[in-house]
Structure 1
Amino acid sequence: MSLESFQASLVLGIAGNALGSKNEKFGTGKSSDEKQKIIAGLGGLRAITVAPPAWPVPEEGVFAVFTIEALATGKTGEELVRDVAMRYADCMATDMTNKPISTYLLNKVSRLQPSDIDYGIFQDYDDHATHSSAAIRCFSVGLRFHKAKHVRDLIAAAVDISRILHHHPVAYMGGVTAALFTSYAIQKRELREWGAGLMATIPMVLEYVASSGKVVIQNGSIYSMSTYQIFEETWKEYLRRRDIIDGERKPKFPRRYDMKKRNEFYQSLALPDKELGATGLDATLIAYDALLSSGSSWEDLCNNSMFHAGQGNVSGALAASWWGIQHGFSSVPPGNYNSVHFKDRLMIAATKIYDLSW
């Protein structure tokens, strides 16, 4: 796998985060038709230059950049997690200045005490912390630990980095899924095999959470176990409907799979009372489904992962990151990524992670 694949994964992932957000204008209430009209009114995807102030990187993308830079140091284990938490705390006075940030994240970051690995880094278990933000913060973990023999390191890093800000099974399972699929892309595993690989990995995640020594009591509760089961069963249902539960056949899609059908299908897999794409469960599902159905078309990938009737910022980032590993930059309009915020830093980090990961 080439250095460009690592670079494209990071740069296109963050660009996809910006494209899927449109400076928060693609948030709650915007239908896929409305988003498509906005894109068309700008001259189409090829005419868009993803750069601030019109296309800034949203808050979850900024935290993802700091995760990436921590991974590029070569640190592992508790040292890595402490560094990530330190960067999250420090960025509030640097790259997050004058950037809109949710009250939730403000509260969580303000409570971080990175010097205290036992009590100052991981948030308390939170029934509401299901957000997809953990998935975008963890996709790059799969670049650092992409070898099959390092899957337990990948799981530990993704779970703990997720729990720095989002301590809930849906969040850290989304983080593990994002990282795992990145590693599969680097390994050049067939796309149809990824879901089956995730199903085989879930017991390893439960084993790590149970043995990590950082587990609050709720992680082992009946409620939490039912949440794990919902995550696993929803993914199984998706894989069954695509006929790839064992990863051995080509995925099946409806003959007519337009955006209306996609939105209905995606919504059927989302958690109740949550906006489409807002949790670690459906954001990863949407990204994977878009990747499976878009082939080598960047435009189709963007339409299917970023411009659906929900939050496309994380699902778009994940799909773009995985697609970038497979296809690089060559067929992407330069304006869609050349001026994205943090590009230079991401290119430097990609080179460091590439050198470290082999």
Structure 2
Amino acid sequence: MDGLKAATVEHYKAAMVLSGAGDALGYRQGSWEFNLSGPDIHMELQKLGGLKKITASLPNWPVSDDTVLHLATAEALATGKTEEELMHEVAARYVEGMKDMNGRAPGNTTILSVSKLRPGKENGYRVPYNPKGAGCGAAMRSMCIGMRYPKPDQLLSLVFVAVETGRMTHHHPIGFLGSVASALFASYAIQRRPLASWGLGLISEACPVAKQVIIDRGFAVEENQKEWDSFSEKWQRYLDLRGLSNGEGPVIWPSPYGVAERDEAYKSFSLTGWGGSCGHDAPMIALDALLGAGSDWEELMNRAAFHGGDNDSTAAIACCCWGLLYGTKGVPTGNYSKLEYRDRLERSARQLYALSH
């Protein structure tokens, strides 16, 4: 990313807060997250006077489960604990976080899995393999892992934590490799790695490390290996489509690629017809939005938040990476200045920055 200054504590704060803002704006108390029409969302957005006119604050713009659990992950990492101790800390904070879900629409897989966690007991952060655990609930809360382990030589730590915290709720390769993707993309943003190389780095560098982590940990190895390739295959298809298989581009965009066309494209990336709802396509749509928007916040939101899919999750991931790249430059202050939990988001950002340096 030529011309961008090195990531500072201000970039970290922007990342955590804007991730929450993207979540709150995409969610709109559930009315936009569960609206399957991007054009309808854009019409409602215009009636509100456009993005610049929105003050994302309570009671109308709460954060969703995405930010509550991203905060849980970040605050656990901020304790400085590592390995097994960290796993129990994360599990405990997920259990605690689930008490703060009124009106935040947590996913069923997350609800069920967290109810099985027993932090503090031996292997109490583990849940069984889940053939239906491919949702985006792990991907949406893992960007902070990349902020804790941002350096290229920390890839093993990043992947280890992303896999093990990811499969606390989404114990399926598509689910927890989504966690790896979000964490990895945040670290790439901090490294200022060219966006065109992110997808290839995911499948050629991080996924093999994740596979080794699963083998070395010796838990549910066979089940995971059986379904392993499904994640990379979907990503390879996306990279081929966008001309990014070589990690260099230039990006190939469909023409036109407006609101309606993006809805169809995002649906085609998905498993279920709800774009962004799974571990592979939530970070994929986030990357697609980052590639298309550059440093333009409004364009990022149009692509990552205001579409007919799981838009609060795709926005949470995209906006975190965007904040790491660009800070809050060009973002209307109303979009984030009165955001719910802003203080906690900024505090965890400062702590993660200190630990990562």
TM range (shorter): over 0.9
Q: 331-340 or 242-251, which moves further after superposition? A: 242-251
Q: Quote how far apart the aligned CAs of 1:101 are.
A: 4.0
Aligned equivalent of 1:9: 15
Aligned residue type for 2:181: T
Deviation for aligned residue 1:287? 0.5
8 Å Cα contact 1:14-1:61 kept in structure 2: yes
Shift of 1:248: 2.4
Quick one: distance in 2 between partners of 1:193 and 1:91?
A: 34
- Equivalent pair of 2:109/2:170 in contact (CA under 8 Å): no
Q: Which residue is 1:107 aligned to?
A: 112
Does the CA contact (< 8 Å) of 1:11 and 1:346 recur in 2?
yes
Partner Cα separation in structure 2 for residue 307 and residue 97 of structure 1: 23
What runs of 5+ residues in structure 2 fail to find an aligned partner?
1-6
**Unaligned residue ranges in structure 1 (runs of 5+):** none
Identity of paired residues, percent? 37
Q: Are positions 1:210 and 2:215 aligned together?
A: yes
**CA 268–212 in structure 1, closer or farther in 2 if over 3 Å, else same:** same
Q: Give me the TM-score of the superposition, normalised by structure 2.
A: 0.94
- Tell me the residue number matched to 1:26: 32
Q: Match for 1:75 among 81, 86, 108?
A: 81
CA distance in 1, matches of 2:349, 2:104: 25
How far 1:238 moved relative to its partner?
1.3
Say whether residues 1:229 and 2:234 are aligned partners. no
Matched, 1:319 2:318: yes
Q: What per-residue deviation string (whole Å, max 9, x for no partner) do you get for residues 143-192 of structure 1?
A: 00010000000000001111111111111110000000100000001111
Name the residue aligned to 1:246: 246
Query: How far, CA to CA, are the matches of 1:264 and 1:122 in structure 2?
Result: 36
The Cα offsets for residues 31-61 of structure 1, whole Å up to 9 and x where unpaired, read as 0011111111111101111112211111132
Distance 1:106 1:132 in 2: 13
Give the structure 1 partner of residue 4 of structure 2: none
- Normalising by structure 1, report the TM-score: 0.93
1:307 matched to 2:306: yes
**1:89 CA drift (Å):** 1.3
Q: Deviations over 1:315-349 (max 9, x none)?
A: 11111111111111121001111111111011111
Residue pair 2:25, 2:61 contacting (<8 A) in 1 also: yes
Asked if 1:86 is matched to 2:85, the reply is no
Say whether residues 1:66 and 2:72 are aligned partners.
yes
CA distance in 2, matches of 1:290, 1:100: 24
Is 1:262 the counterpart of 2:262? The answer is: yes
CA distance, structure 1, for counterparts of residue 122 and residue 287 of structure 2: 34
What is the alpha-carbon distance in structure 2 between the residues aligned to residue 103 and residue 254 of structure 1? 35
1:172 to 1:40, Cα distance in 2 relative to 1, 3 A: same
Q: How do 1:281-292 and structure 2 match up within 5 A?
A: 281-292=280-291
Are residues 1:53 and 2:52 paired? Answer: no
Answer yes or no: is the 8 Å Cα contact 1:305–1:315 preserved in 2: yes
Structure-2 residue corresponding to 1:176: 180
Q: How far apart, CA to CA, are the structure 2 residues paired with 1:136 and 1:19?
A: 15
Alignment length, in residue pairs?
Answer: 350
**Contact kept? 2:214, 2:221, Cα under 8 Å:** no
Matched AA of 2:70 = A
- In structure 2, relative to structure 1, the CA distance for the partners of 1:100 and 1:289 (3 Å cut) is closer
Q: Is the 8 A contact 1:28 1:275 kept in 2?
A: no
Q: Secondary structure of the equivalent of 1:35?
A: helix
CA 1:115–1:179: 2 relative to 1, 3 Å: same
How much has 1:98 moved relative to structure 2? 6.5
Supply the distance in 1 between the matched residues of 2:8 and 2:170 (Cα, whole angstroms).
33
Matched, 1:146 2:145: no
Q: Distance in 2 between matches of 1:9 and 1:316?
A: 12
The aligned counterpart of 1:116 is 121
Matched residue of 2:329: which SS? Answer: coil
CA contact (8 A) 1:60 1:137 kept: yes
1:96 deviates by: 3.5
User: Is the alpha carbon distance of 1:45 and 1:117 closer, same or farther for their aligned partners in structure 2, counting shifts above 3 Å?
Assistant: farther
Contact 1:78 1:117 in 2 (8 A): no
Q: Do 2:73 and 2:142's aligned partners in 1 also have CA atoms closer than 8 Å?
A: yes
Distance 2:231 2:125 in 1: 25
Taking the aligned partners of 1:53 and 1:78, their CA distance within structure 2 comes to 38
Q: How far apart are 1:30 and its partner, in Å? A: 3.0
1:90-122 CA distance string (max 9 Å, x none) = 2344x335655444433322222101241x212
1: CA distance between counterparts of 2:114 and 2:266? Answer: 31
Does the 8 Å CA contact 2:57/2:338 hold for their aligned counterparts? Answer: yes
Letter in 2 for 1:79: E
